[in-house]
Structure 1
Amino acid sequence: MLKNQVFTLQQLALRNGQDKPDIWIAYKGIIYDVTDSKLWRNGTHYEHWAGQDLTAELKDAPHTEKVFERLTVIGKLKVQD
């Protein structure tokens, strides 16, 4: 997939580790692939669920946004009207 592809929240939601084999999360409008991460098995990471925009939830995380630098960018999250 190309990094400049745009996906809706509904398309992101399908990549939750249950409905499709891909596991994606979004942060600050960018969608990341966490499929191969041991920390996201079955689409969960502690109390966080894949297939969602996690921007608002990061403030409660014990890490900074630097963790996203290690992940593969899938595309952009479509801004909702």
Structure 2
Amino acid sequence: MVTDKHQLPSYSRAQLALRNGNDRDEIWCAYQGVIYDVTPSRLWRNGKHYEHWAGQDLTNELADAPHNERVFLRFEAVGVLQL
């Protein structure tokens, strides 16, 4: 995961929502306040991963996933989510 969130740019929920794989080419998701670029993953094509949609905070949805938070180690942190 990210060691220093303070060096990342900050994005609003509305800005994150635009990175859903449809409105722009980027496919981003947030987890615990950090925004990750999941664009390279074939599992996130078209901004959808099983019943989860890109462009939103997935913190509360991870409990239902077959993997843990370590999955985010595969992706680049691109920002932090504004409160």
Both proteins in one fold, TM over 0.5: yes
Query: How many residue pairs get matched?
Result: 77
In structure 2, distance between residues paired with 1:70 and 1:50: 16
Alignment map for 1:57-76 (pairs within 5 Å)? 57-76=61-80
Are 1:30 and 2:34 matched, yes or no?
Answer: yes
Partner of 2:60: 56
Unaligned 5+ runs, structure 2:
1-6
Q: Does 1:16 align with 2:20?
A: yes
Could you say what secondary structure the match of 2:60 adopts?
Answer: coil
Q: Which runs of 5+ in 1 are unaligned?
A: none
Q: Provide the C-alpha distance between the structure 2 equivalents of 1:4 and 1:31, rounded to a whole number of angstroms.
A: 9
**Taking structure 1 as the reference length, what is the TM-score of the superposition?**
0.93
Between the two proteins, what is the percent identity of the paired residues? 61
